[in-house]
């Protein structure tokens, strides 16, 4: 079973945030994860992201640490539909 660890930040991502998530993932892997579980995934959602930090943040060759920008409000159904269509067009 895959269990992501999620951390929400209300500011730009820092190296300290990456280190904190590294600690969470390592702790979960060593103390909680069952032998037959999939690798633990660490996800950091922040109001602003810096791709350089995210790009070089990996745990011992494990590329399961992600950061993403999020919005402080829920989009409307119409906004979500428009975003889905936009993503489809970009993939073509």
CATH at residue 31? 3.40.1350
Looking from the CA of 1 toward its CB, the CA atoms found within 13 Å total 5
Helix (H/G/I), strand (E/B), else coil: 72: coil
Predicted confidence (pLDDT) per residue in 13-55, tens digit: 888 888 898 898 889 888 998 888 877 888 888 777 666 565 5
* φ, ψ for residue 32, nearest 5 deg: -120, -45
Asked whether the predicted pLDDT for residue 56 surpasses 60, the reply is no
Structural domains of the chain, count: 1
Instruction: Name the residue range of residue 48's domain.
Output: 4-91
């Amino acid at each position: 079973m895959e269990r992501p660890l999620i951390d929400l930040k209300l500011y730009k991502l820092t190296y300290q945030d990456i280190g904190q998530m590294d600690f969470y993932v390592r702790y979960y892997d060593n103390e909680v994860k069952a032998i037959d579980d999939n690798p633990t995934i660490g996800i950091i959602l922040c109001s602003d992201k810096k791709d350089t930090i995210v790009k070089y943040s990996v745990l011992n060759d494990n590329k399961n640490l992600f950061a993403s920008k999020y919005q402080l409000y829920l989009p409307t159904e119409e906004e979500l539909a428009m975003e889905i269509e936009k993503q489809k067009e970009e993939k073509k």
